[in-house]
């Protein structure tokens, strides 16, 4: 999929919400979608970073993006409903939703994992994607074809010691994706897939692997072909599947 090439206007007139859009993979996805014609809604907790991505999109000549500031750790159902209502008022629909926002902690045995850390990792990595998808379903149904991408992880597809609540959350994400797919595949034109980006040079990975040389891993920009493929019309037949941007790497 790294060789995937698409038309410059692949996402022309599409409205795509990207969480965790202020940095890392979320920033790269937002910029890539904007370069291919999409109107991107940038959601994250750090307004300064979101505004910087906003400026980058405008500088490259993309459609004016929107910024939505939300701390997923603190968000409740009212907050998610407000996000959906704001998008409905401003755009009327969603053509795509990328669940990229995430948190991680240094690997620890379960017996040394605090309840605070457990709650934080499950709330941001699992509860937020579920809640945001559920509240945005009416918007996704308004699109002719809609794509929801859940960010997975190798830790969410293989059971690995010491990855604790992060792994449990990512296993949960895979199940949430599959449940939405199973429940809506016969009554909806929304497709649901999970994407494991694999190891790449992001701040999130440096928390888990502080001694690793960042230059030894691909940059987020290098992984964007799969993000584009799953969001565009070439993947209309892909639904309920697990994808890996780096299938040869753990």
4 falls within a domain: no
pLDDT exceeds 80 at position 216: no
60 falls within a domain: yes
Give the contacts of 34 (CB within 8 A, at least 6 positions apart): 40, 57, 60, 62, 63, 65
pLDDT exceeds 70 at position 208: no
Residue 164: count of CB within 10 angstroms of its CB: 22
Q: How far is CA 232 from CA 33, 44, 108, 227, in A?
A: 10, 23, 39, 9
Separation CA 34–CA 23 (nearest Å): 15
Give the three-class secondary structure for 181.
helix
Q: What is the phi/psi pair of residue 98, to 5°?
A: -115, 115
228 falls within a domain: yes
195 falls within a domain: yes
Among 33, 130, 166, 227, the active-site one is: 166
Number of domains within the chain: 1
Instruction: Write out the residue range of the structural domain in which residue 203 sits.
Output: 15-244
Element (H, E) at 129: helix 128-141
pLDDT tens digit sequence for 87-112? 999 999 999 999 999 999 888 999 99
Q: List, in sequence order, every residue forming a beta bridge with 239; answer none if it has no partner.
A: none
pLDDT of 209 reads 61
9 falls within a domain: no
36 falls within a domain: yes
- Residue 162 among the catalytic residues: no
> By C-alpha distance, which of 140, 167, 141, 142 is closest to 156?
167
pLDDT exceeds 60 at position 201: no
CATH number of the domain where residue 130 is located: 3.40.50.720
Separation CA 179–CA 219 (nearest Å): 31
Instruction: Give me the mean pLDDT over the 107-122 stretch.
Output: 95
pLDDT of 206 reads 59
DSSP state of 125: I
8 falls within a domain: no
226 falls within a domain: yes
Instruction: Give me the mean pLDDT over the 148-177 stretch.
Output: 94
| Count of helix runs (H) and strand runs (E) in the chain | 8, 7
Separation CA 21–CA 68 (nearest Å): 10
């Amino acid at each position: 999929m790294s060789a995937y090439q698409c038309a410059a206007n692949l996402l022309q007139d599409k409205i795509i919400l990207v969480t965790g859009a202020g940095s890392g993979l979320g920033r790269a996805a937002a910029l890539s979608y904007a370069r291919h014609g999409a109107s991107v809604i940038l959601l994250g907790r750090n307004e300064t970073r979101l505004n910087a991505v906003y400026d980058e999109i405008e500088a490259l000549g993309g459609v004016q993006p929107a910024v939505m500031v939300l701390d997923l750790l603190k968000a409740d159902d009212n907050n998610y409903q407000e996000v959906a209502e704001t998008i409905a008022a401003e755009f009327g629909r969603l053509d795509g939703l990328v669940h990229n926002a995430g948190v991680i902690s240094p690997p620890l045995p379960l017996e040394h994992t605090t309840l605070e850390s457990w709650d934080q990792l499950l709330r941001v990595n699992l509860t937020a994607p579920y809640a945001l998808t559920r509240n945005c379903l009416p918007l996704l149904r308004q699109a002719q074809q809609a794509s929801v991408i859940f960010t997975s992880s190798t830790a969410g597809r293989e059971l690995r010691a010491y990855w604790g609540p992060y792994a449990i959350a990512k296993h949960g994400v895979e199940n949430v994706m599959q449940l939405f797919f199973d429940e809506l595949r016969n009554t909806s034109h929304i497709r649901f897939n999970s994407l494991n980006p694999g190891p790449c040079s992001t701040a999130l990975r440096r928390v888990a692997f502080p001694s690793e040389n960042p230059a030894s891993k691909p940059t987020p920009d290098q992984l964007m072909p799969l993000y584009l493929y799953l969001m565009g019309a070439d993947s209309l037949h892909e639904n309920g599947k697990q994808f890996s941007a780096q299938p040869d790497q753990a």
